[in-house]
Structure 1
Amino acid sequence: MIPFVDLKTQYQTIKDEINSAVIGVLESSQFVLGTSVAAFEEQFAAYCGAAHAMGVSTGTSALHLALLAAGIGPGDEVITTPFTFIATASAIDYTGAKPVFVDIDPVSLTIDPALIEAAITPRTKAILPVHLYGQPADMDPIIAIARKHHLLVIEDAAQAHGAEYHDRRVGGIGDMACFSFYPGKNLGAYGEGGAVTSNNPEFARRVRMLRDWGTERRYYHDLKGFNYRMEGIQGAVLGVKMRYIEDWTEARRQHAARYDALLPKNKVLLPQAITCRRHVYHIYAVRHAQRDGLQSYLHDCGVATGIHYPIPVHLQRAFAELGYKAGDFPYAEQAANEVLSLPMFPELQKCQQDVVIAALQSWQP
Structure 2
Amino acid sequence: MAIPYGRQWLDEDDERAVLDTLRSDYLTQGPKIAEFEQALCDYTGARHCVVVASGTAALHLAVAALALPAGSEGITSANTFTASANSMAYCGIKPVFADIDPISYNIDPASIAARITPATRLLTPVHFAGQPAEMTAIAALAREHGLKVIEDAAHAIGSRYRDGSPVGNCRHSDATIFSFHPVKTLTTGEGGAVMTNDEALYRRMLLLRSHGITKDPALLTQNPGPWYYEMHGLGWHYRMTDMQAALGLSQLKKLDRFAARRRGIVARYNRLLAGLPWLRTPVEADGVTSCFHLYVPCIDFAALGLTRAEAMQRLLAQGIGSQVHYIPVHTQPWYRETYGYGPGDCPVAEAYYAQCLSLPLYPALTDDEVATVAAAVRSLG
Fold shared, TM-score > 0.5 on shorter chain: yes
Residues in 2 aligned to 1:73 and 1:32: alpha-carbon distance in whole angstroms: 34
Residue identity matched to 1:219:
Y
Coordinate RMSD, CA, aligned = 1.4
Residue deviations 1:36-86, cap 9 Å, x none?
111011011121221111101111010001011112352111111111001
Q: What residue number does 2:4 align with?
A: 3
Q: What residue number does 1:289 align with?
A: 300
Q: What residue number does 1:246 align with?
A: 256
Shift of 1:304: 1.1
Structure of higher CA gyration radius: 2
Q: What residue number does 2:159 align with?
A: 163
Q: Does 1:272 align with 2:268?
A: no
Q: Assess, with a 3 A threshold, how the Cα gap between structure 1 residues 67 and 303 changes in structure 2: closer, same or farther.
A: same
From 346, 359, 377, give the equivalent of 1:342. 359
Residue deviations 1:106-129, cap 9 Å, x none?
111111001212211121111000
Q: Which moved more, 1:90-99 or 1:218-227?
A: 218-227
Q: What residue number does 1:308 align with?
A: 325
Residue identity matched to 1:87:
A
Residue identity matched to 1:193:
G
Runs in 1 of length 4+ with deviation above 4 angstroms?
none
Residue deviations 1:230-283, cap 9 Å, x none?
111100000111110100100000000111111133231111011111111100
- Matched residue SS, 1:169: coil
| Contact kept? 1:4, 1:305, Cα under 8 Å | yes
Residues in 2 aligned to 1:82 and 1:58: alpha-carbon distance in whole angstroms: 21
Residues in 1 aligned to 2:79 and 2:69: alpha-carbon distance in whole angstroms: 23
- Matched residue SS, 1:126: strand
| Contact kept? 1:268, 1:287, Cα under 8 Å | yes
Q: TM-score if structure 1 supplies the norm length? A: 0.95
Residue identity matched to 1:53:
C
Shift of 1:292: 3.2
Residues in 2 aligned to 1:37 and 1:261: alpha-carbon distance in whole angstroms: 42
| Contact kept? 2:295, 2:361, Cα under 8 Å | yes
From 197, 200, 211, give the equivalent of 1:213. 211
Q: What residue number does 2:195 align with?
A: 197
From 308, 313, 328, give the equivalent of 2:345. 328
- Matched residue SS, 2:311: helix
- Matched residue SS, 2:26: coil
Residues in 2 aligned to 1:121 and 1:139: alpha-carbon distance in whole angstroms: 20
| Contact kept? 2:32, 2:242, Cα under 8 Å | yes
Shift of 1:299: 1.8
Residue identity matched to 1:178:
I
Residues in 1 aligned to 2:202 and 2:234: alpha-carbon distance in whole angstroms: 16
Shift of 1:2: 2.1
Q: Which moved more, 1:161-170 or 1:101-110?
A: 161-170
Q: What residue number does 2:225 align with?
A: none
Q: TM-score if structure 2 supplies the norm length? A: 0.91
Residue identity matched to 2:268:
R
Shift of 1:6: 3.2
- Matched residue SS, 1:345: coil
Residues in 1 aligned to 2:6 and 2:231: alpha-carbon distance in whole angstroms: 42
| Contact kept? 1:82, 1:103, Cα under 8 Å | yes
| Contact kept? 2:274, 2:281, Cα under 8 Å | no
| Contact kept? 2:272, 2:371, Cα under 8 Å | no
Q: Which moved more, 1:37-46 or 1:256-265?
A: 256-265
Stretches of structure 2 that go unaligned for 5 or more consecutive residues are: 216-227, 302-307
Q: What residue number does 2:305 align with?
A: none
- Matched residue SS, 1:226: coil
- Matched residue SS, 2:342: coil
Residues in 2 aligned to 1:55 and 1:307: alpha-carbon distance in whole angstroms: 28
Q: Does 1:106 align with 2:102?
A: yes
Residues in 1 aligned to 2:18 and 2:272: alpha-carbon distance in whole angstroms: 41
Q: Which moved more, 1:117-126 or 1:95-104?
A: 117-126
| Contact kept? 1:264, 1:361, Cα under 8 Å | no
Q: Which moved more, 1:280-289 or 1:137-146?
A: 280-289
Shift of 1:176: 0.1
Residues in 2 aligned to 1:363 and 1:23: alpha-carbon distance in whole angstroms: 45
Residue identity matched to 2:3:
I
Q: What residue number does 2:183 align with?
A: 184
| Contact kept? 1:58, 1:182, Cα under 8 Å | yes
Stretches of structure 1 that go unaligned for 5 or more consecutive residues are: none
| Contact kept? 1:264, 1:360, Cα under 8 Å | no
- Matched residue SS, 1:116: helix
Residues in 2 aligned to 1:6 and 1:117: alpha-carbon distance in whole angstroms: 37
Residues in 2 aligned to 1:23 and 1:250: alpha-carbon distance in whole angstroms: 28
Q: Assess, with a 3 A threshold, how the Cα gap between structure 1 residues 322 and 265 changes in structure 2: closer, same or farther.
A: farther
From 224, 240, 244, give the equivalent of 1:234. 244
Residue identity matched to 1:177:
T
Residues in 2 aligned to 1:114 and 1:210: alpha-carbon distance in whole angstroms: 34
